[in-house]
Amino acid sequence: MDAINGTSAKTATLNIGDKSWELPILDGTIGPQVVDIGKLYGQTGMFTYDPGFTSTASCESQITYIDGDEGVLLYRGYPIEQLAEDGDFLETCYLLLYGELPTAAQKADFDYRVTRHTMVHEQMSRFFHGFRRDAHPMAVMVASVGALSAFYHDSTDISDPQQRMIASVRMIAKMPTLAAMAYKYTIGQPFVYPQNELDYASNFLRMCFSVPCEEYKVNPVLSRAIDRIFTLHADHEQNASTSTVRLAGSSGANPFACIAAGIACLWGPAHGGANEAALKMLGEIGSVERIPEFIKRAKDKNDPFRLMGFGHRVYKNYDPRAKIMQKTCHEVLGELGIKDDPLLDIAVELERIALQDEYFVERKLYPNIDFYSGITLRALGFPTSMFTVLFALARTVGWIGQWKEMIEDPGQRIGRPRQLYTGAPARDYVPIARRK
The type of residue at 241 is S
DSSP character for 10? S
**Which CB, 102 or 262, lies closer to ligand SDX?**
262
- DSSP letters for 57-105: -----SSEEEETTTTEEEETTEEHHHHHHHS-HHHHHHHHHHSSPPPHH
Interacting residue with ligand SDX among 171, 259, 298, 394 (CB under 6 A) = 298
Residue 170 in the binding site for ligand SDX (CB under 6 A): no
Q: Which stretch binds ligand SDX (CB under 6 A): 73-81, 145-153, 192-200, 310-318?
A: 310-318
Helix axes of 89-98 and 387-407: crossing angle, nearest 10 degrees: 20
Residue 309 in the binding site for ligand SDX (CB under 6 A): yes
What Rg do the C-alpha atoms of the chain give, in angstroms?
Answer: 24
Interacting residue with ligand SDX among 136, 313, 316, 327 (CB under 6 A) = 313
312 catalytically annotated? yes
**Which CB, 122 or 358, lies closer to ligand SDX?**
358
Residue 365 in the binding site for ligand SDX (CB under 6 A): yes
Catalytic residue among 88, 312, 319, 341: 312
Residue 370 in the binding site for ligand SDX (CB under 6 A): yes
CA-to-CA dists, residue 49 to 60, 237, 416, 418, 419, angstroms: 20, 21, 14, 9, 8
What lies within 8 Å, CB to CB, of 366 at 6+ separation is 71, 310, 311, 312, 315, 316, 317, 318, 319, 322, 355, 360
**Which CB, 207 or 325, lies closer to ligand SDX?**
325
Rounded CA separation 78/76 (Å): 6
User: What's CA 299's distance to the chain center, in Å?
Assistant: 27
CA-to-CA dists, residue 220 to 89, 226, 382, angstroms: 15, 10, 17
Residue 312 in the binding site for ligand SDX (CB under 6 A): yes
Task: Enumerate residues 222-281 that contact ligand SDX by CB under 6 A.
Answer: 236, 239, 270-272, 274
Residue 110 C-beta: closest distance to ligand SDX, Å: 23
- How many chain residues bind ligand SDX (CB under 6 A)? 21
Residue 75 in the binding site for ligand SDX (CB under 6 A): no
* Residues pairing with 35 in the sheet: 25
Interacting residue with ligand SDX among 306, 316, 323, 330 (CB under 6 A) = 306
Q: Which residues are catalytic?
A: 312, 370
**Interacting residues with ligand SDX (CB under 6 A):** 236, 239, 270-272, 274, 298, 306-314, 363, 365, 368-370
